[in-house]
Amino acid sequence: MSTYLDQIREIEEQIRRTKINKATEGHVGRLKAKIARLKRQEQERTFGSSGGAGEGYDVKKAGDSSVALIGLPSVGKSTLLNRLCGKKISEVGAYAFTTLDAIPGAMTHAGTTIQIIDLPGIISGASKGKGRGKRVLGVARGSDLILIILDAFDIIPHLNLIQNELQHVGIRLNQKPPNIVIEKTHRGGILISTLKILTNITEKTIKAIMQEYRLMNANITIRNDITMDQLIDALEGNRVYIKSFLVINKIDLIEKEEREKLLAQYPNAIGISAGTGLNIETLKDRIVDHLKLIRIYLRPQGGETDFDEPLIIRDGSDIGEVCDNLHKDFRKEFKFARVWGNSAKHPGQRVSLNHVLKDEDILTIIRYTR
């Protein structure tokens, strides 16, 4: 039995017993930081220090974005993959663990091609290396959207388990990364500057947690109303922030009235039947919406705009990212660009690499040619 796990459990128990108030907050903060460190050590021990995807599971990114299907065995992930991609890609089975590899498929919808990855069923303890779980979670870390697939008859226990496992490997669902900048200094202790009033954490606790990370002299700038856990996330680093929603499958087996009652309890969920195809088009729309993709029409210098095949990129991308998307050398060879459309102050505005594009912009990139 791992001593790390014993220690973690013991500290968690201590936190549970402590009533959080102004007097105990710093103490709890330190305990939480200790847990985060122990978890990291435990992960490094089990998986090596990278913490990323394991060998054999480097699913190559294809398409405009990738979506990971996460769920326990037999909830219908493989059935759903086949349904979304319109053909049989993944084996469906009535028994657990039919899928042993991550299986990617391509879904085309609303002008985009999206990679859907069917992952082997997650089981309890996956983040600690069980059932190839670590690799599964590694692929999930690299995706743009995570769909938590649930069986309509097993929602609560599965949901809790999956959320715990994802949390444990540093995946934060539907959270914005906390806006915290930490700069080490040589003297002067810890200087805290905040742009908003902090309602969830005191300055004393911030200092206590930072000391737990051996940061005695540092400037910390906090731009939003953070919690203890978010500060620890920032100090740990290696966290990924991914969008997610729940997909409740097999609703064909539930009476209509019961269905509505059930779904009303999960506002962030969509009810579907991968088996019969019920609500699949709505699910596809939702996937595309959540990925926040935009279309960019490219116009070669002195040529015609290609309106037929827009470049699909993530909302918020700048021209530098478009360059990376087009060719590995484009960023180096970039001279300037011109944009027409929603992001342009005037038609044909001359812009640089950090210009952020908007949906349906027309873009011309001018490069130094060698």
Ligand X SMILES: Nc1nc2c(ncn2[C@@H]2O[C@H](COP(=O)(O)OP(=O)(O)O)[C@@H](O)[C@H]2O)c(=O)[nH]1
Binding-site partner at residue 249 among Mg ion, ligand X, none, CB < 5 to 8 Å by type: ligand X
Angstrom distance (rounded) from CA 188 to CA 366: 49
Least gap, CB of 364 to ligand X (angstroms):
46
Angstrom distance (rounded) from CA 62 to CA 104: 9
Angstrom distance (rounded) from CA 16 to CA 9: 10
Angstrom distance (rounded) from CA 37 to CA 238: 12
Least gap, CB of 306 to Mg ion (angstroms):
39
Binding-site partner at residue 274 among Mg ion, ligand X, none, CB < 5 to 8 Å by type: ligand X
Least gap, CB of 291 to ligand X (angstroms):
22
Binding-site partner at residue 104 among ligand X, Mg ion, none, CB < 5 to 8 Å by type: none
**CB-based burial label for 181 (10 Å; 0-12, 13-18, 19+):** exposed
Determine how many CB atoms are found less than 10 A away from the CB of residue 124. 15
Q: Is 66 in the site for ligand X (CB under 6 A)?
A: no
Q: Tokens 């060879």, residue? A: 333
Q: Is 1 in the site for ligand X (CB under 6 A)?
A: no
Helix/strand/coil for 323? helix
Stretch that binds ligand X, among 5-13, 272-280, 327-335, 342-350 (CB under 6 A): 272-280
Contact pick of 54, 142, 275, 320 for ligand X (by CB under 6 A): 275
Stretch that binds ligand X, among 45-53, 104-112, 250-258, 329-337 (CB under 6 A): 250-258
The answer to whether the CB of 143 falls within 8 A of the CB of 68 is yes
The tokens describing 357, both together, are 């594009």
Q: Taking the CA atoms of 132, 138, 139 and 140 in sequence, report the sign of the dihedral they define.
A: positive
Q: Is 158 in the site for ligand X (CB under 6 A)?
A: no
Angstrom distance (rounded) from CA 125 to CA 301: 55
Q: Is 279 in the site for ligand X (CB under 6 A)?
A: no
Helix/strand/coil for 240? strand
Contact pick of 93, 111, 189, 347 for ligand X (by CB under 6 A): 93
Q: Is 82 in the site for Mg ion (CB under 5 A)?
A: no
| Size, binding site for ligand X by CB under 6 A | 21
Q: Is 244 in the site for Mg ion (CB under 5 A)?
A: no
Binding-site partner at residue 71 among Mg ion, ligand X, none, CB < 5 to 8 Å by type: ligand X
Helix/strand/coil for 167? helix
Helices and strands of the chain, counted as H and E runs: 11, 15
Contact pick of 66, 78, 112, 205 for Mg ion (by CB under 5 A): 78
Least gap, CB of 151 to Mg ion (angstroms):
13
Q: Is 277 in the site for ligand X (CB under 6 A)?
A: no
Stretch that binds ligand X, among 7-15, 76-84, 155-163, 279-287 (CB under 6 A): 76-84
Do β-strands 65-70 and 112-118 pair in parallel, antiparallel, or remain unpaired? parallel
Q: Is 98 in the site for ligand X (CB under 6 A)?
A: yes
What is the end-to-end Cα distance of the chain in Å, rounded?
61
Stretch that binds ligand X, among 57-65, 244-252, 263-271, 306-314 (CB under 6 A): 244-252
Angstrom distance (rounded) from CA 111 to CA 294: 10
Contact pick of 16, 19, 49, 94 for ligand X (by CB under 6 A): 94
Least gap, CB of 50 to Mg ion (angstroms):
27
Binding-site partner at residue 177 among Mg ion, ligand X, none, CB < 5 to 8 Å by type: none
**CB-based burial label for 349 (10 Å; 0-12, 13-18, 19+):** middle
Binding-site partner at residue 244 among Mg ion, ligand X, none, CB < 5 to 8 Å by type: none
Q: Tokens 């690799």, residue? A: 135
Binding-site partner at residue 264 among Mg ion, ligand X, none, CB < 5 to 8 Å by type: none
Q: Is 205 in the site for ligand X (CB under 6 A)?
A: no
- Which of 52, 169, 117 is CA-nearest to residue 287? 117
Q: Is 99 in the site for Mg ion (CB under 5 A)?
A: yes
Angstrom distance (rounded) from CA 338 to CA 336: 7
Binding site for Mg ion (CB under 5 A): 77-78, 98-99
Binding site for ligand X (CB under 6 A): 71, 73-79, 92-94, 98-99, 121, 249-250, 252-253, 273-275
